[in-house]
Amino acid sequence: MGTEIFERIREKTGENVSLCYSCRKCSSGCPVAFAMDIFPHEVMGLISLGEERRLLESSTIWLCAACETCCLRCPNGIDIAGVMDGLRQIAIASNAKPSESEIESFHRAFLLGIEEFGRTNEPVLIGIYKALTRRLIDDLHLGSIMLLRRKIKLVPKFVRDRKSIAKIFRDSGWRFRRESKN
């Protein structure tokens, strides 16, 4: 029998992290490992040890790009990117705050944009992120340069069937608007 966090991850993702024998292939192939405070192979070990608080407050689970390089490299076929996503879901549900608050704000902004518009786009992502971090004018000059050079569009594009996207969010339990209390 595993720890509580082990069982929660297994329930959310179907993954058995006890299959990890810490070969470190996931960590050595991860393109964002240089910025992580806990390497992916260490995440698997900490889940088995029941180190829930340390995991949920780490920046690693928020920095994971879900590129699935780790999954391809894992000799036991563990969906490590899925485990990271499960940890993010648990962190949000338990109101755990990562060591770097702006990481969570960026994640929330990204998913809120998808929930609202069906896809991510720069104006929405930037607007929501700036509102969540309350840093509205820090780099306003950069935004105007990007607009002038047509690097970002002012009007976001929408997905036609946004109701289906909203249903995915509703069915998965991701309810950022109600949980986001900064």
Specify if 180 maps to a domain. no
Specify if 181 maps to a domain. no
Q: Are residues 85 and 148 in the same domain?
A: no
Residue-wise pLDDT for 39-96, tens only, equals 999 999 999 999 999 999 898 998 888 889 999 999 999 999 999 999 988 988 888 8
Specify if 132 maps to a domain. yes
Give exposure, 123-155, as e/b (b: 16+ Cβ within 10 Å): bbbbbbbbebbeeeeeeeeebeeeeeeeeeeee
Q: Are residues 71 and 21 in the same domain?
A: yes
In this prediction the pTM is 0.70
Domain that holds residue 39: 4-93
